[in-house]
């Protein structure tokens, strides 16, 4: 079922927030719980039970850990059950079909594929729920005995289906005792509008160019001109940033309006000067999750260089697999893992010594190559040879391998999307933030009135766009 999230969100939010602000503090978590379940059920009326099952398993595991606090065996058993059940849900819905298709292709078998639809956001809510039992096992947090509060934590509708990944540790003090101030509400509204504009006005529009180029090529990139190839993958490079960071901004804004301080998820990643820095700035909550629950338990960098390299490659392979059930995602994860290992070995020191422009260019170009692996490959292919062929063909087109530098498709794209590209470049840097801070802190009072006017215009333009658009999917709903 297509999850028309933004359309439903605008119909859903006013009622939710009116009730949320009217009820007393003790009842607010009830509103959060109900609203989260309704929001998820709107897109996944059947698979809402998968989300509730994950929640129930971890809630019960937490209670048993608390009850048998002095019994290590029972505590460990509870943790294992939680991990197995959550990873089992994730594996069944997300990876079973891919595994069956791969095995059938490799061995000539005919195992029936159940073709289970993927519950939206399953990678997010399972990781979020698992973090509770892991941290409780480590005794980093206190048990949550109130089922309403725990279900509310997992089903917080602002970030339920596409992050940021909010660990219980992040909001344990706010889940049962939070204060909602006028400033938080005001800041939340501004942040929500920023995210909405990123998604609706920029990501949706620049994404149309990439969709057109990819669909026209049909994964055969031998006819792309050099300029068309660059415009296409740059369009996706900006689309995925504004789409995902836009959703994160909206979630953080809605969280503030409800009294929560969700962790940041993006910090201008395309301004990075190394691949390692890029991944400290991109999808920061996922990186923190893998660091806390995989990299450090494996030994991190505490057991020598060889073990550190192995640990990094394991984490990045898992990162790729987390993003999707296809070989290209595993390739994508390993690609970044290898680059980060090389930077740790020697490239990092080189990047520190060269002019900043060249370290930025190195990073940006390699990230763009990564996006080729991420989205320019046919996700249905299980033939690794075909996958590599598509990657190298597209990257070859970027460097003129097809013998055509520019064509009519490129000229048309430049004419139609030139302004959007300019907005993408501006919006992916911190220039707007720096200028806004200058106006707020140092500009005359009359200039400061311009900020809410701009936000109002962005809001109205976004609503106008939504009124004519029939489909506004978020890319990360598929993860």
pLDDT by residue (tens digit) across 271-296?
999 999 999 999 999 999 999 999 99
Residue 3 has a pLDDT of: 42
172 and 222 inside one domain: no
Assigned domain for 289 exists:
no
Residue 360 and residue 271: Cα distance in Å, rounded?
Answer: 7
Instruction: List the single range of 23-32, 212-221, 383-392, 434-443 with lowest mean pLDDT.
Output: 434-443
Residue 47 lies in a domain: yes
* Domain annotation covers residue 10: yes
Does residue 325 fall inside a structural domain? no
Confidence of residue 448 (pLDDT cuts 50, 70, 90): low
Residues in CB range of 275: below 8 A, 6 or more apart: 336, 339, 340, 343, 363, 366, 367
Angle (nearest 5°) at CA 434 between 262 and 170: 10
Do 139 and 22 share a structural domain? yes
**172 and 220 part of one domain:** no
- When pLDDT is cut at 50, 70 and 90, the band that residue 2 belongs to is very low
Q: What is the pLDDT of residue 1?
A: 37
| One domain, residues 188 and 166 | no
Per-residue pLDDT, 473:
58
Same domain, 153 and 252: no
Domain boundary at 178, 208, 223, which? 178
Q: Find the range with the poorest average confidence among 151-165, 261-275, 381-395.
A: 151-165
Host domain of residue 161 = 5-178
Q: Are residues 118 and 221 in the same domain?
A: no
Residues 166 and 197 both lie in one domain = no
Q: Are residues 53 and 125 in the same domain?
A: yes
> 178, 211, 245: which is the final residue of a domain?
178
| Position 306 in a domain | no
DSSP 8-state class, residue 365: H
- Of the listed 66, 273, 283, 323, which one is catalytic? 323
Residue 19 has pLDDT above 80, yes or no: yes
User: Mean per-residue pLDDT for 37-60?
Assistant: 83
The answer to whether residue 387 sits within a structural domain is no
**Closest to 30 in 3D by CA, of 176, 240, 168:** 176
169 and 104 assigned to the same domain? yes
Question: Do 69 and 158 belong to one domain?
Answer: yes
Q: Is 273 among the residues known to form the active site?
A: no
Same domain, 195 and 169: no
130, 155, 178 - which closes a domain: 178
Kindly tell me if the per-residue pLDDT of 479 is higher than 60.
no
Q: Is the pLDDT of residue 443 over 70?
A: no
Query: Does the residue 155 lie in any domain?
Result: yes
Kindly state whether residue 392 falls inside one of the protein's structural domains: no
- Predicted confidence at residue 110, as pLDDT, reads 82
Are 156 and 191 members of one domain? no
Q: What angle do CA 29, 31, 32 make, to 5 degrees?
A: 60
- Count of domains in the chain? 2
DSSP string, 350-404: HHHHS-HHHHHHHHHHHHHHHHHHHHSS-TT---HHHHHHHHHHHHHHHTTTTS-
Q: How far is CA 227 from CA 202, 217, 239, 407, 458, in A?
A: 21, 14, 18, 8, 31
């Amino acid at each position: 079922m297509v999850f028309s999230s933004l359309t439903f969100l605008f119909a859903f939010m006013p009622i939710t927030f009116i009730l949320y602000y009217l009820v007393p503090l003790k009842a607010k978590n009830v509103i959060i719980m109900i609203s989260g379940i309704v929001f998820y059920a709107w897109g996944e009326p059947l698979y809402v039970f998968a989300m509730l099952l994950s929640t129930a398993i971890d809630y019960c595991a937490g209670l048993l850990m608390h009850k048998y606090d002095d019994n290590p065996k029972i505590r460990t058993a509870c943790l294992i059950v939680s991990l197995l059940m959550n990873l089992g849900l994730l594996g069944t819905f997300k990876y079973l079909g891919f595994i069956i298709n791969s095995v059938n292709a490799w061995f000539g078998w005919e195992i029936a594929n159940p073709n289970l639809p993927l519950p939206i956001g399953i990678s997010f809510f399972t990781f979020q729920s698992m973090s509770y039992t892991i941290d409780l096992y480590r005794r980093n947090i206190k048990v949550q005995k109130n089922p309403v509060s725990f279900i509310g934590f997992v089903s917080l509708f602002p970030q339920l289906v596409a992050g940021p990944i909010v660990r219980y540790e992040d909001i344990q003090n706010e889940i049962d005792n939070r204060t909602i101030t006028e400033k938080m509400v005001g800041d939340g509204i501004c942040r929500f509008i920023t995210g909405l504009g990123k998604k609706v006005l920029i990501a949706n529009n620049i994404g149309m160019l990439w969709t057109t180029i990819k669909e026209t090529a049909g994964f055969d990139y031998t006819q792309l001109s050099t300029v068309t190839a660059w415009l296409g993958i740059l369009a996706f490079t900006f689309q995925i940033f504004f789409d995902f960071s836009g959703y994160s901004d909206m979630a953080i804004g809605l969280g503030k309006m409800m009294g929560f301080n969700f962790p940041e998820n993006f910090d201008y990643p395309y301004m990075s000067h190394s691949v390692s820095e890029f991944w400290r700035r991109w999808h920061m909550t996922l990186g923190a999750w893998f660091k806390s629950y995989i990299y450090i338990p494996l030994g991190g960098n505490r057991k020598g260089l060889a073990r550190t390299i192995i640990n990094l490659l394991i984490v990045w392979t898992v990162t790729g697999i987390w993003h999707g059930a296809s070989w290209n995602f595993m390739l994508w994860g390993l690609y970044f893992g290898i680059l980060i290992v090389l930077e740790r070995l020697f490239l990092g020191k080189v990047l520190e010594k060269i002019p900043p422009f060249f370290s930025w260019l190195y990073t940006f170009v390699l990230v763009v190559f990564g996006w080729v692996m991420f989205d320019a490959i046919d996700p249905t292919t299980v033939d690794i040879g075909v996958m590599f062929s598509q990657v190298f063909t597209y990257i070859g087109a970027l460097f003129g391998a097809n013998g055509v530098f520019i064509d009519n498709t490129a000229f048309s794209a430049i004419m139609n999307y030139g302004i959007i590209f300019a907005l993408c470049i501006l919006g992916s840097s911190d220039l707007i933030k720096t200028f806004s801070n200058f106006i707020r802190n140092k500009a005359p009072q009359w200039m400061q009135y311009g900020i809410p006017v701009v936000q109002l215009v962005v809001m109205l333009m976004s609503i106008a766009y939504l009124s004519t658009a029939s489909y506004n999917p978020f890319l990360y709903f598929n993860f």
